[in-house]
Amino acid sequence: MGSCNIFELSTQLLFSQLLLGLINGAFYAMLSLGLAVIFGMLNVINFTHGAQYMMGAFAAWLMLTWLHIPFWGALVLAPIIVGLFGIVIERLMLKRIYHLDHLYGFLLTFGLAQIIEGLFQWNWGSSGAPYQSPIPGGYNLGFMFLPAYRGFVVVAALVICLTTWYAIERTRLGAYLRAATENPTLVRSFGINVPRLITLTYGLGVGLAALAGVLAAPIQQVSALMGTNLVLVVFAVVVIGGMGSIMGSIVTGFGLGLIEGVTKVCYPPGSNTVIFVVMALVLLVKPAGLFGQTK
């Protein structure tokens, strides 16, 4: 069981697991990207990220069942609504703790995640609700069957990640953002409204999480606890990649998803834990993370 001979396996199994890994990786990438953007600007590890991802999926599902807004509408509306919710939280609570140790941000957002997930669970229970795939059908590629929607998710995630990277690394607003991360006081003296920039960043990061949630709705069941375990895995992804670089988060996310997929083929019981094992190895070899700087 422990040996992994790729040539003995059916290519069908291998490729379908790799696709699954790629999809998981797409979600890891989108979520760790949001965490990195938020941490860079707010110095807060957003523990609420998993709950906000869940809120995105729920928003899409509620829009469909209550208002008959189709998937494509939800894809635009849900991140905006959840992002606005994030902005309210930032204005009301997070801004009060920036001067404190990072740990307090972690504790505060952990408490918020418990409140949100608890309320959703209380109202809708723990069992999931199905969400119809907006792109049914698929393609037979010869070596495997590719469900159309899953292919779309991988492409969409890539587009979202690269757009975020471009916005932060190549635009004027992104330059302000990076400058404010380095030295907020100096940037403020240039007449740029840094607090507003911080609020916007948080809204953007939360919106990204919600967008990932909407994309996940047709693949996973929509349930109150769908983000609980995911956010813990994403923390490991963040430790592995280091939060220093946007591109680093994207590469690490997709890469770890693929590693998970390969593990599922070679040694199925290890697929849950392989990311944590990678994390232990990275800590041994390069404690700052693959793309992180030691500070």
Partner 1 sequence: MNRILVAIVLAVAALVAPWFFYPVFLMKALCFALFACAFNLLLGYAGLMSFGHAMFFGMAAYFFGHMVKVWDWPIEFGLVGAVLGAALLGLVTGALAIRRQGIYFAMITLAFAQMIYFLCVQMPFTGGEDGLQGIPRKPLFFGLLPTENDYTLYYVVLVIFLFGFGAIYRFIHSPFGQVLKAIRDNEQRALSLGYEADRYKLLAFVLSAAVAGLAGATKAMVVHFATLTDVAASTSGEVVLMALIGGLGTITGPVVGGFVLVAMQDYLAFVGQLVLVIQGAIFVVIVLGARRGLVGEFSAWWKARRRPG
For the CB of residue 284, give the shortest distance to partner 1 in the complex, in Å: 7
* Whether 253 contacts 28, CB under 8 Å: yes
Place of tokens 């469909």: 64
Residue among 91 and 102 whose Cβ is closer to partner 1: 102
The answer to whether the beta carbons of residues 56 and 212 sit under 8 Å apart is yes
- Residue recorded with tokens 């040694």: 267
Distance in angstroms (rounded) separating the CA atoms of residues 219 and 224 = 15
Nearest by Cα to 158 from 46, 23, 290: 23
Q: Which is nearer to partner 1, 50 or 79 (CB)?
A: 50
Question: Which residue, 70 or 268, is less far from partner 1 as judged by CB?
Answer: 268
At a CB cut-off of 8 Å and minimum separation 6, what does 174 contact?
167, 168
- Close Cβ partners of 140 (under 8 Å, ≥ 6 residues apart): 146
Q: What is the enclosing helix (H) or strand (E) of 147?
A: strand 145-147
Minimum CB distance to partner 1, residue 170 (Å):
28
Q: Which is nearer to partner 1, 78 or 233 (CB)?
A: 233
Nearest approach in angstroms of CB 282 to partner 1 is 10
- Report how far residue 153's alpha carbon sits from residue 148's, in angstroms, rounded to the nearest whole number: 9
Query: Minimum Å distance from CB 169 to partner 1?
Result: 24
The C-alpha atoms of residue 99 and residue 263 are separated, in whole angstroms, by 43
For partner 1, the closer of residues 17 and 46 by Cβ is 46
Binding residues (CB under 8 A) for partner 1: these are 45, 93, 96-97, 100-104, 106-108, 110-119, 121-122, 228-229, 232-233, 235-236, 238-239, 269, 272-273, 276-277, 279-280, 283-284, 287-288
Q: Could you tell me the smallest distance in angstroms from the CB atom of residue 236 to partner 1?
A: 4
Nearest approach, Cβ of residue 60 and partner 1 (Å): 23
Closest CB 120 distance from partner 1, rounded Å: 10
Helix axes 194-216, 71-92, angle to 10 degrees: 140
Sorted by sequence, the CB contacts under 8 Å of residue 226 that are 6+ apart come out as 53, 54, 57, 128, 213, 216, 220
Decide whether 119 or 155 has the Cβ nearer to partner 1. 119
Burial of 24 (0-12, 13-18, 19+ CB in 10 A): buried
60 versus 224: smaller Cβ distance to partner 1: 224
Rounded to a whole number of angstroms, the minimum distance from the CB of residue 140 to partner 1 is: 34
Our CB check for partner 1 shows the closer of 5 and 127 to be 127
The residues pairing with 145 across neighbouring beta strands, listed in sequence order, are: 140
